[in-house]
Structure 1
């Protein structure tokens, strides 16, 4: 299909993966030995809670104001490339400011190159274990789109909110001198709006290298609290790994001040689906029950200031969740 045909399909509500550059993903999954993984109940309470106290809305507010100032973060646009480069520089700046010199030796920041110009970003905090090569992934997608890509797409909620949410979690963890037993990675994917292109490419690369991803979770849209509803933490239950999803529910119960709501997307609606397609345990969390999510996405009104329903305090709940996910599954070297 041409790019215009893809745009028209999306405008008509057709859901799809774009498998142009990731046609081996299913084959790689079938070649993988599917591991039987059991996820424990949360048990790192004191370590997690110590980090949660240091999380703030200040960084996300400043970062999202900048991130949404680009006219669009559409993955094939010049400003999409520029926004990715800004995000990369911001991650490097936070790492330089908050990680100790000894911790920096265990952190790597890299671009995962794509043919369309806007690259994905991978930050790895290397695990201390010699025997355990499992990887824990926390992710969001950095690109934005309007229904017609030539129109402005600030993408404050979709998925600027998730992008700065996990960035705040990363900042707090490295400031707390987080030394995971297993490697913990933060991913910011390109071209989710183009058919999960960036995450498919990364998942295909990991699967081809037989990397052991224990668990991944995607945070896509974390800011919206619909007027007239109670604040809640949306946990998607379709097109996900059921055991990891149950573990996520336990994290919310243990560490968040709001309840979770089990909800369905109805389709493979974000980057977690790429990892599930590759045979890995993946999960997806979002701002609310699916029917209560932000109605302004994919328009020029997906902005910070469009409504009081856009909440940085709500985003903070998801930063807490990401910290808990990293510490509980990554472990913390004594």
Structure 2
């Protein structure tokens, strides 16, 4: 990427807490140099003119000097996990090992079929009648190290290898090629949620609707997506795989069976599409509420198999369960509802970023976005839990307040609390576009699923709890029932569980 302005350039990583206190003279520079949120900090890339005129910008946070032309800038981070998991080794040692493995040239032995094989750069002919293919040296530079994260400058070839080589609890996000708008969640959007919270009371009709989410169907949907169902041919849902595209078609068909209008959103070459489904309000309103999950997954390094039962077939199945419960009772919302199954989450939330940016360009009126990511794992001996994104790190407090209140009313079996992780799922894409957003999760604490990003992430194992998925899905559904408002269609016969 070529950085705009005059060299040298500096990357500023500014805490979300500190940003509201930025002096007014700095706002113009920062608004023109914003690149997103990484590791719970906002990133700005400013040129030498900006730094000379406002040198004290460096006092806002961490400063990293950049060259005028860098390869892809990538933020690499390790998810905080419970100390009982082996992945809690020293970050620096793991980072050095990962960088070394990505930089190492790889040789592929390919039999020669005839003497006319092109002698392109990178090919070497051997006397054995084989050709050795040497990949060009893949470049990786570590520009900055933090406690559980690092900034890399990395070539295209190395980035592809990085995606295949990540340890289980690691994630990466790629910087955009140019600055993006810095859009805070507006006051009126927060006030809308505060008013909704003040009006939330137990509603027996809402209770009957959310209780209609079927554990039986949750199990069937999860096991189809993981390939545990013999009728499913899915081995993986990695965003670059053909199986992921087949999963997208299957999801679109299942959502359409509930009466939603659906489309596949293709946003980047090589990626499986987002599945975007809509329930239109009968009145003329632009207000829209979004429920999301990601259907793509990751498996163990070197294995094709990637079932992703918890991450995130659990959240995706919850979306389907919500859609079926809505259809079963003939719920008609007074606001528009979007049910979104995103791809590309494991590659830095690129699918949801594309969709959230599109909504912003269209001037969409988004009241809230709730992301369901990893709902199923429960540690033996612990009560069922509802983890909520900590709004001091990422997201909107007014929305997490609603989710906690709704959970206490409709899923009192859940122990609710924050989990200490700064973003990293698709709610971040909406938060960055200035929309109220939050994530629901399986645990009010550090990740403790030993099969995270593993071929062992199946539903038929100890700790995988379909009842907990239902309890959290009830919170999601009850929230949009209360915030959007709803009516019931008049009809003679309710649809059976198997028909929707």
TM class, shorter-length: 0.7 to 0.9
Which segment drifts farther, 12-21 or 110-119?
12-21
Partner of 1:179: 332
Give unmatched runs, 5+ long, in structure 2: 1-71, 73-155, 228-233, 489-500
1-structure distance, mates of 2:419, 2:476: 20
The alpha carbon displacement at 1:191 in A equals 0.9
Which segment drifts farther, 75-84 or 183-192?
75-84
**Deviations 1:203-261 (CA, angstroms, capped at 9, x unpaired):** 00000111010001001011111012122211121311111111111110111132333
Partner of 1:62: 220
Among residues 117, 121, 135, which one is paired with 2:288 in the alignment?
135
* Equivalences for residues 267-306 of structure 1 within 5 A: 267-306=422-461
Give unmatched runs, 5+ long, in structure 1: 96-103
Among residues 222, 228, 238, which one is paired with 1:74 in the alignment?
238
Give 1 or 2: higher strand fraction. Answer: 2
The alpha carbon displacement at 1:5 in A equals 4.6
TM-score using structure 2 length: 0.60
Partner of 1:261: 416
* Equivalences for residues 111-190 of structure 1 within 5 A: 111-115=264-268, 116-130=270-284, 132-148=285-301, 150-190=303-343
Secondary structure of the residue that 2:190 maps to in structure 1?
coil
2-structure distance, mates of 1:36, 1:139: 19
Change in CA separation of 1:8 and 1:153 when aligned onto 2, cut-off 3 Å: closer
2-structure distance, mates of 1:111, 1:123: 9
2-structure distance, mates of 1:199, 1:129: 27
Which segment drifts farther, 76-85 or 187-196?
76-85
Partner of 2:160: 4
2-structure distance, mates of 1:186, 1:253: 24
Partner of 2:174: 18
Secondary structure of the residue that 2:183 maps to in structure 1?
helix
Between Structure 1 and Structure 2, whose CA radius of gyration is higher?
Answer: 2
Do structure 1's residue 200 and structure 2's residue 353 form an aligned pair?
yes
Partner of 1:325: 479
The alpha carbon displacement at 1:18 in A equals 3.0
Q: How large is the Cα RMSD of the aligned pairs?
A: 2.2
Secondary structure of the residue that 2:400 maps to in structure 1?
helix
1-structure distance, mates of 2:244, 2:171: 22
**Deviations 1:166-191 (CA, angstroms, capped at 9, x unpaired):** 11011101221111111011110011
The alpha carbon displacement at 1:314 in A equals 1.1
Question: Is contact 1:181–1:330 with CA below 8 Å preserved after alignment?
Answer: yes
Change in CA separation of 1:65 and 1:9 when aligned onto 2, cut-off 3 Å: closer
Change in CA separation of 1:9 and 1:117 when aligned onto 2, cut-off 3 Å: closer
Question: Is contact 2:211–2:474 with CA below 8 Å preserved after alignment?
Answer: no
Do structure 1's residue 246 and structure 2's residue 401 form an aligned pair?
yes
Give 1 or 2: higher helix fraction. Answer: 1
Among residues 449, 467, 475, which one is paired with 1:313 in the alignment?
467
TM-score using structure 1 length: 0.88
The alpha carbon displacement at 1:120 in A equals 0.5
Secondary structure of the residue that 1:179 maps to in structure 2?
strand
